[in-house]
Structure 1
Amino acid sequence: MELLHLRYFVAVAQELNFSTAARRLHMAASPLSRRIKDLENELGHRLFDRDTHHVRLTPAGSALLPIARGVLEQVDSIQWRLDETTRPRRTTLLLGVPSGIHPDLRTRMDALAERVGDRFEIKRWPGGTERLVDAVCDGRLALTLARLPAGGDPALEQLPVMSERLGAVVPRDRFAGRESIALAELSGLAYAGSPTAVTNAYFRGLDQQLAELGIKKRIEIGSATFDGVSEIVSSGLAFSISMLDPRSPVQNYRLDNVTVLPFSDFHPRLETGLLWRKDRAHGGDLDEVIAAAREIFAEPLHA
């Protein structure tokens, strides 16, 4: 008995028509009928009742059908089972992601996940930059996106991935029709820091820089959120600083009386990097992932 005999038998059993089964098998009906006869002779059982108009399975044929299907399924699965056995196992890697990541940067990270997808499954883990960097240091995360500057641990290595221009988040009615704004024009307003300002080295430095440039008033909002800051700005009590690109997800928190204007005399930019531990990259378990990241981010993004 050959596998082809079983394939022929299953085709006829499914169609209950020799001509239709023959067309499905790309052969003529008469040789198909002979192959079924050969199988019946070998098994010693008649498998089909045939007359001029009908084909029916005999009890022996009905008993053979699930057996034949099972054998063929096992044979047909040999290739993918072998591939699964020999394919390297995928390792899950956790990637830290701070809030407000630009969609272009997400697209690049998707490209990285796809590039290494045969061996690694990259899952994203949210958090503030400093906590994410700490998690990379102690091994809880494989790597992280981080707002720079971040960390100071010599065991860490970083790759610049994006630079975003920042603008002034101001009350729309107070600066109607304006295309830009000078920093001095904001001296009458308090500065309301970003929700990440307390735990972000860059925004702490920005706060100090604003103070040195004459912006002295501050509004401290406990447990501030992006929409909370937007409420304060909308009321005319304060201004803030945030991503200028309208595609930034932070822009989704803007209220009707809030707009973001570029500075005419101040040029802050928020830099984002990809960080990992050196010992995991150079000959370590992240070597392949970091090599792919260096290719994908050979030219950092700008917005």
Structure 2
Amino acid sequence: MELLHLRYFVAVAQELNFSTAARKLHMAASPLSRRIKDLEGELGHRLFDRDTHKVRLTAAGTALLPIARGVLEQVDSIQWRLDETARPQRTTLLLGVPSGIHPDLRMRMDTLAERVGDRFEIKRWPGGTDRLVDAVCDGRLALTLARLPVGGDPALEQLPVMSERLGAVVPRDRFPGRESVALAELADLAYAGSPTAVTNAYFRGLDRRLSDLGLKKRIELSSVTFDGVSEIVASGLAFSISMLDSRSPVQNYRLDNVTVLPFSDFHPTLETGLFWRKDRADGGDLEEVVAAAREVFADRLLA
């Protein structure tokens, strides 16, 4: 098995579309499809179910995806890890950062980096919450910010750092001049989950709560970004849920016919925590950094 096969597999798994994945890989769809078939033959498992309309991961493909991503992340980090050996005067630590982090949290990350800068160089590592927390558990990351809730691993310790109010992302022309919206007013719109919904326990739970409250319609998007969700909302087909604070980076993806309104009868809140391994903080290599982090993030932010 070659690394390229894993890169091809991850690209198709992310896009669930061979043509789109091929364009991103700067190759044609036909040879990409052959490489995937070669990988399936070598592994002895079908990784994708394909028909003329959709591409889906099989159970084997779903199991392989986090493994392949982990292998590629390790390989891609070889160069900078080797480069860091030329700077032994400071230890490099990786701090995980999920998407859409509020600017106030970024300022506190900067403060932490300055506070420990004499001995440690903190670099940020992006990713989804589940993968970032796993990377802290196995030692690839020193600390991570993560969207709560997170599975209760007894090896981890967490510090709540921010609470953000969420609102309804709706077509502006459907709710002109409004200051809030009720759940019942969204009943004829489908719910389009955020780009992090699949890998974020909070948004998976939020989807179930909306269903329990009577909002059953869904738009399933196999590959989506924040701007993609805005396009669906702006067209009047759906609503979504996102941060209310205008300074949140996800607000940058709003289109002219999209607005974010607070709910009048529903009050969802997204919590963010800082995680680290207890054994690395209690007398371990992160003791100094965690002590500084406890001070920097002592007062939970509200937005």
What TM-score does the superposition give when structure 1 sets the normalisation length? 0.70
Distance 1:287 1:164 in 2: 29
**Residue 150 (structure 1) shift:** 1.5
Distance, in Å, in 1 between the alignment partners of 2:278 and 2:226 is 34
Letter in 2 for 1:242: S
2:140 alignment counterpart = 140
Paired position in structure 1 for 2:156? 156
Residue 108 of structure 1: CA displacement?
Answer: 0.6
1:200-211 alignment runs, 5 A limit: 200-211=200-211
CA distance in structure 2 between the aligned counterparts of 1:220 and 1:169, rounded to whole angstroms = 17
Write out aligned runs for 1:1-150 (5 A): 89-150=89-150
Number of the residue aligned with 2:175: 175
Distance 1:173 1:250 in 2: 20
Q: Does structure 2 retain, via aligned residues, the 8 Å contact 1:133–1:151? A: no
- Measured after TM superposition, the shift of residue 152 of structure 1 is 2.1
Q: Give the secondary structure class of the aligned counterpart of 1:198.
A: coil
4+ runs deviating over 4 angstroms: none
Displacement of 1:143: 0.7
- CA deviation vs aligned residue, 1:149-180 (integer Å, no higher than 9, x gap): 11321101111111000000000000010000
In the alignment, the residues of structure 2 paired with residue 294 and residue 152 of structure 1 have an alpha-carbon distance, to the nearest angstrom, of 20
Q: Distance in 2 between matches of 1:169 and 1:156?
A: 34
Bigger Cα Rg = 1
Which 5+ residue runs of structure 1 have no aligned equivalent? 1-87
Deviations 1:110-161 (A, max 9, x none): 0011001111100000001101111111111111000001132110111111
Q: What letter corresponds to residue 257 of structure 2 in structure 1?
A: N
| Count of equivalent residues | 216
Distance between the aligned counterparts of 2:110 and 2:294, measured in 1?
Answer: 14
Q: SS at 1:165's partner residue? A: strand
Amino acid in structure 1 at the alignment position of 2:207: D
> Match of 1:263?
263
In structure 1, what residue type is equivalent to 2:126? P
TM-score (norm 2): 0.70
Give how far 1:224 is off.
1.1
The whole-number CA distance in structure 1 between the counterparts of 2:223 and 2:159 is 31
Note the C-alpha offset of 1:184: 1.1
Which position in structure 2 is the counterpart of 1:166?
166
Paired with 1:260 and 1:103, the residues of 2 have a C-alpha distance of 18
Inter-partner Cα distance in structure 1 for 2:89 and 2:289: 15
Distance in 2 between residues matched to 1:129 and 1:245, nearest whole Å = 21
Distance across 2 between alignment mates of 1:126 and 1:151: 19
CA offset digits 1:20-48 (Å, max 9, x no partner): xxxxxxxxxxxxxxxxxxxxxxxxxxxxx
SS in 2 for 1:161: strand
